[in-house]
Amino acid sequence: MLDHLLTGIGTAFSLANLGWILIGCLAGTFVGLLPGLGPMTATALMIR
């Protein structure tokens, strides 16, 4: 059971996943700074 936990932690903290987390945080901060653009509109723009 401990080996599965360590595998999950290793996957969560891999370089690729940490990069995606950084990109998501930067995009969320940028969207939060724009006046009049809410989370629903931002999600629709990113999907399109």
Global pTM reads 0.63
Q: What's the distance, Cα to Cα, between the start and end of the chain in Å?
A: 41
| Residue 11 confidence (pLDDT) | 92
Place 4 in a pLDDT band, splitting at 50, 70 and 90: very high
Domain extent at residue 36: 2-47
When divided into structural domains, the chain yields a total of 1
Q: What share of the chain has pLDDT > 70, as a percent?
A: 100
d(CA 12, CA 15) in angstroms, rounded, equals 9
Q: Are the C-beta atoms of 31 and 37 separated by less than 8 Å?
A: yes
Q: Which helix (DSSP H) or strand (DSSP E) does residue 6 occupy?
A: helix 2-12
| Residue 7 confidence (pLDDT) | 94
